[in-house]
Amino acid sequence: MSANCGWPLWLRCGVPLALIALVGSLCASVALWAQQSATPLSQEEMFRRNVGSMEQMLTPFPPHRIVGNLYYVGTESLSSFLVVTSEGHILINTNWERAVDGLQSSVEELGFDFADIKVVLGSHAHADHMEGDALVKELTGAQVMAMAADVPALRRMRPGDKEHPIDRVLEDGDEVRLGGTVLVARLTPGHTKGCTTWTMVVEEDGVNYDVVIIGSMGSNPGFQFVNNPDNPSIADEYKQGFRVLRSLAPDVPLGSHPAMYGMQDKYARIDGTQNPFVDPDVYWEELNAVEALFLQVLAEQEAAAGR
């Protein structure tokens, strides 16, 4: 929240600066109180909110346009995004392999040809988000791209013993370009070592909107942040991921699970007048809640380890 608390310029210019500062301080205090007073979700509750049931992970949600050339083609609890360009399309997240049929149906329901997908990207190397990469490549011939730190985990992802395709290895800050659209890969590690948050600028009605698709910063039940023999630096990786996310300021916040940005509520409010997906506040609400949960669990594990 800004120090002017949303006051218009014409009103601020006629008010003493000391009073503006006082009101700004009060606004910040109220916002902090509201944030701290909200009942936080536990690890289990946050996980269930995001992931849902297997049926929800496999059931397509009505496909819809989010903003500009960006569309939702995922399921009730697993996000997939289609970026439509004049030179073909970019798909972010193929999800479970068994969900690819529904994914294809959603793309075609919007009037686009599934075979026109030229690039496949992902949020992070978990099967519920990227297991379908090999099948989508088989169906479309698309180039599959992934963050370098997630490549080892993806290589172990072999549905039906199919090799996981990786046509381009990405590093933090790399750009993926197609048909005038540019997506930037931002490394936000922790949930996986190569967890990727995608940023892009989308134009609609002459206005540019900053879009952020969070890879995931969820601290799932069973995640070990202290004395983790498989990944001793996991806690520091999470902290790095949160620093990156706090450096962003999206107009349109999205995520690898639709619950991360309240998709179902926003979809219900699509009325052709005001785009409900333009909602910067929900980004900070989600980020604050997820980071607070991580820090709480980290402190509990450190105390249990005698640190």
pLDDT in tens, 236-246: 999 999 999 99
**What pLDDT score was predicted for residue 273?**
87
Q: Is the pLDDT of residue 36 over 90?
A: no
User: What are 48-74's pLDDT values in tens digits?
Assistant: 999 999 999 999 999 999 999 999 999
**Mean pLDDT, residues 230-234:** 96
pTM for the model stands at: 0.87
pLDDT of residue 289: 96
Q: In this model, does residue 296 exceed pLDDT 80?
A: yes
Structure-token pair, residue 77: 């609890």
> Are β-strands 252-255 and 207-214 bridged in parallel, bridged antiparallel, or unpaired?
parallel
**What pLDDT, on the 0 to 100 scale, is given for residue 229?**
96
Domains plus CATH for the chain?
52-304 (3.60.15.10)
pLDDT of 34 strictly over 60: no
- Residue 41 pLDDT: 87
pLDDT at 24 over 50: no
pLDDT of amino acid 6 = 35
Residue 29 — pLDDT band, cuts 50, 70, 90? very low
| Percent of the chain scoring above 90 in pLDDT | 85
pLDDT reading at 42 higher than 70: yes
Cβ distance 166 to 141 under 8 Å? no
Average pLDDT over residues 262-270: 97
Supply the pLDDT for residue 15: 38
- Report pLDDT for 30: 36
pLDDT at 17 over 90: no
pLDDT in tens, 115-139: 999 999 999 999 999 999 999 999 9
* Sign of the dihedral through C-alpha 202, 255, 232, 242: positive
- pLDDT per position as a tens digit, 95-117: 999 999 999 999 999 999 999 99
At residue 31, the pLDDT reads 41
Q: Write out pLDDT tens, residues 165-207.
A: 999 999 999 999 999 999 999 999 999 999 999 999 999 999 9
Q: Tell me what percent of the residues of the chain surpass a pLDDT of 70.
A: 87
Please tell me the predicted confidence (pLDDT) of residue 35: 40
Each residue's pLDDT tens digit, 150-167: 999 999 999 999 999 999
Q: Is the pLDDT of residue 235 over 50?
A: yes
Q: What is the mean pLDDT of the chain?
A: 89
Q: Give me the pLDDT at residue 39, please.
A: 66
